[in-house]
Structure formats: C-alpha cells, structure tokens
Amino acid sequence: MGAVKRVLLGSAAGVFAVAGAQAADLEVKAKPVEYVKVCSLYGAGFWYVPGTDTCIKIGAFVKLQTQYNLASGGPFMQGVGRNGGGDNGGRRDRTDTSEFTFNQRNAVSFDMRTQTEYGTLRSYFDAFFQTTGSDNAPTQLGSITLGNTRGFIQFVGFTAGRMRSFFDMYFQGAYGFGSGSFGNDTSPNGIVGAAYTWQFGGGVSASLSLEDNGQGNSGRGRSTLNLSQAPLGIASNTFNNKGQEFFDPVFNLRLDQAWGYVGVSAALHDASGGYYGATEGSGHPGDKFGYAATAAFLVNNPFGLQGDTVAGQAVWSKGAVGYAAVTWGPTALFSSGMRVGLGWMDDAVFSSGSNVELTTVWSFNAMYEHRWNPQWRTSLYGGMLGVQYDDAAKSMICATTVTGGKVTFTGFGSSFAPSNCDPNWGLSQVGTRTMWNPVPDLDVGLDLGWTHLNTAFAGTAVLGQNGAKPAGTYTVSDRDALSAVFRIQRNFLY
C-alpha cells in the first residue's frame, strides 16, 4: 500500500505542477493606458481630455497692484462716485482718505472646445479671489472677494452668458493702469447677454446682442432721478427708474485685419422714470429711451515701427451714461482751505409733472504705445469726459429762490447754496505707463497720471457737514489730482 500511495501522490503532484506551469504561461490582457494628447487645433496650451474628443486649456494669473491717490477697487480717481454712491476718499481728511491702497488678485480660467458637425462648441469661464485694501478707512481690514468675469457658451455664431459687451471694441486699460474713468469697456468684469455674429468674409463681421441694462452686477446701470422725491446729494443719489423690462439691444459692425481693426457700435437703453410720488395715483412721466454710439480703431505697426500700436475710441450717449463712463452718481473732490470740485452724472432727471430729460455724456480715449525692445515698452494715453444737461433739466436742478444774493438749490437741500448754478462738468486725464517683461509672461509696470476735474459751479457754496469736513462756505472750483500705480503680474495661458 505504501508504494501505491507514493505513486498516486507523485502523479497528483505532477498534474498540479503542469497545470500551474500552464496557468503561469497564459497571457493576461492589461488595461490600455490613456495618454494625454496635445490638441493643436486651437493654439498653445490645449490638450485632449482622456476618453473624450474635447480639448481644454487651463490658465491662471497672479497680480499685485498698489495705487497712490486712486481708489483701491479700480482705476478711479478718489472722489468720483460709483454706482450712485459717493467716494469718501474724496474728502481728503485724516480719517476718510488712504493715499496708498492696493488690490491683489489670483484668477484661473477654463477654456473647453469640441468639434461638432455644426462647428466648434466652446464654453469658457473664470474665477478669481481678490484682496482689496480699504480706500476710505485706514483702520478697516481689507476684504476678500470671490468673483467671476467670464462664463459663456459659443456655438454656430451664438454667444451667451457673461461676456465682453459687443458695444465695446477698444480697452484703454490694456495700455494704462489708471485710465479707467473715461469709458466703460466691460473687459475687466464682463456683462451678461446673448449675441449672434455674422461673418461675411474678408474680416468683416456684424453682431446683434441683448445685454444687461443694469439689473445684474457690472450691468450698464440705470440712474434716472426724481428730483421732487430724492434730490441730488453729495454723498449718494437715490434713483427712481421704471422696473426692468428687457435687455439693451446692441449692434456692432467691424473690420479686422492684420494691420488692426476699425468698427462702430450702437445701443438703446431704457431710461424711463418711476412715479412722481410714492403711489400709483401720483402718475408718472412717459417712457423715455436713451441711446449710445461709438467708433473705435487700432493700428498695428504705425509709421513702419514694428511692435508699436496707436488706438482710440469715442462714445456719445444720451440717457445712457453706462456706455460712456464706468462710474455714475455724485463726484466731490475736496482739498485744503475749504475748496471742492463738484459734479453729478446720471441717465436722466425729472420732477413732479415733468417729462424725463436725458443727460448727454460723451467720452474719448486714445493712446500710443512704443516698443523699445522685446523687454521694454511705454505708452502715452489720454482721455476726456463731458456731462451736459439740457435747459429743462437745468431748470429742474436749479429750481431757485434768491436769499441774500445767493442761489439756493431746492434740489440739493437747504445745506447747499451755490452762488452759480450750472451742473455741467467734465474730467480729463493724461498719463504714461512703462512695462518691463524680464521674462515671458511676467509683467512689471509703473503708471503715472494727472487728472483734472472741470466744474461749471465755479463760485461759492454753503455746505453742511460731510464726514470730517465741517459745515461752512466752500469755494467751488476745478480740482487736480496726481496718481501712480505699480503692478506686477504673472500670466500663464490666461
């Protein structure tokens, strides 16, 4: 039995050994490795998302900007009103004005594109985190903001979402850090809308869009004033508009070539007022629509100078301030010795029983940039802005009684008694920016600017207390301001 057992055990061991060897020799099919492939269809930085036919590009930038004598939220002269409110920095006192301000921004973008049987399907969005130093209270800590400047879909000629307005063509902010008060290009923050673009060939295109007229953040704004209910104020304005009904229609026609571009745009804007009084029974003025028109150009390599650029844009608006200027509301720029420069910028004004009277606002921007070499370039820029009220609007604003030889504005309250009533005013600016690019994608720049506020209120005015500014008789006259901006920014596929 022992021999037989040994034979059987040996045979079994041989069978298992052969089976084991055969199993070890069998091929095991490995899972395929998916490599990231470069997508060359849309330029540098795109790659195919594994397992899809969609190309994606991820970009980013990091920026630190410091400002002297400018508001921290953007390139605005201190004292110029924003979105109906005043700017306490314009008081020029120890507690309300920070001469040095800053903002630091980190942003990331995602550009996704897919080829379809109808053409390219594109979606794009970005997000940023920004820390802003206070421009009106030195003891206040900076605020941290999460924001979004773009978020749109493009397909077969349509663009919809948060985009750059099709009214805009030339952005002076690309050539001057402190030049943003003399136009309202939506490049920095975007605007919500929907558009269709026709391509006619040869670089000729036309676009029709419907865009936010003031309901959302960074919209064009609506700023019609009922002077009989809420008069103009130095610190802020209270607007009385008819409710939102529709987007602003915008039309654009342009020619793009290797030498640059030229184009024109136009827009309509609802500037209708609300009720004369607090209830429906008080009645209301008839609807009133404002409009804006612009023309712009940019020329590459002018005068045969390789790398140089010259460009400009002019905007004319009536009842549509948000197309000609990035800010609206009251402007009050104080200085020592009881002096102040004043101005108000609004879509329109009306009072009890009157029509809505549209305000005319025009602006102009221009620049020339010279490239010294691949690392250094300098731009010279300038801008002007004018605000004009018609005779009917002036009569409402300057509803007067004569007391002691002075004109008292009933529209401003008893604390404002100027010796001269003329609400027309303007701003002008010249500046220069020099940019250094020690390595690709790194920008280091310094901007110096001079801004002039021209007021037609020249004379004297009795003002009530405004913050730390005491009540008393002030000299109303033109004001000037010098500013400086330093920026360092690293860009990566953004």
Residue 161, pLDDT above cutoff 90: yes
Residue 296, pLDDT above cutoff 90: yes
Residue 8, pLDDT above cutoff 50: no
- Return the higher-pLDDT residue of 429 and 19: 429
Q: What is the mean pLDDT of residues 320-339?
A: 86
Residue 405, pLDDT above cutoff 90: no
- Residue 201: CB atoms within 10 A of its CB come to 6
Least confident segment among 47-51, 167-171, 439-443, 467-471? 467-471
| DSSP code string of 49-105 | PTTSSEEEEEEEEEEEEEEESB-TTSS-BTTB-BTTB--GGGG-STTT--SEEEEEE
pLDDT range class, residue 4, cuts 50, 70, 90: very low
> Is residue 392 a part of any domain in this protein?
yes
Domain count across the chain: 1
Q: What is the mean pLDDT of residues 341-355?
A: 91
Least confident segment among 83-97, 209-223, 256-270, 309-323? 83-97
| pTM for the model | 0.86
SS3 content of the chain, % helix, strand, coil (to 5): 10, 50, 40
Reported as a single tens digit per residue, the pLDDT across 218-251 is 788 889 999 888 777 777 788 899 998 899 999 9
Q: Domain residues for 385?
A: 152-433+448-479
pLDDT range class, residue 12, cuts 50, 70, 90: very low
> Is residue 307 a part of any domain in this protein?
yes
> Is residue 230 a part of any domain in this protein?
yes
> Is residue 489 a part of any domain in this protein?
no
Output the CA–CA distances (angstroms, integers) from residue 249 to 2, 189, 262, 294, 394, in the order listed: 103, 19, 21, 14, 29
Q: What gap in Å lies between CA 372 and CA 437, rounded to an integer?
A: 12
> Is residue 124 a part of any domain in this protein?
no
Least confident segment among 48-57, 397-406, 464-473? 397-406
Residue 137, pLDDT above cutoff 60: no
Q: Among residues 348, 386, 341, 86, which one has the least CA distance to residue 227? A: 348
| Contact between 71 and 89 (Cβ < 8 Å) | yes
Under DSSP, is residue 174 helix (H, G, I), strand (E, B) or coil? helix
> Is residue 204 a part of any domain in this protein?
yes
Q: What gap in Å lies between CA 247 and CA 264, rounded to an integer?
A: 20
**Distinct helix (H) and strand (E) counts, the chain:** 3, 28
Q: What is the mean pLDDT of residues 401-417?
A: 62
Residue 111 token pair? 């550009």
Q: What gap in Å lies between CA 133 and CA 87, rounded to an integer?
A: 15
> Is residue 5 a part of any domain in this protein?
no
> Is residue 439 a part of any domain in this protein?
no
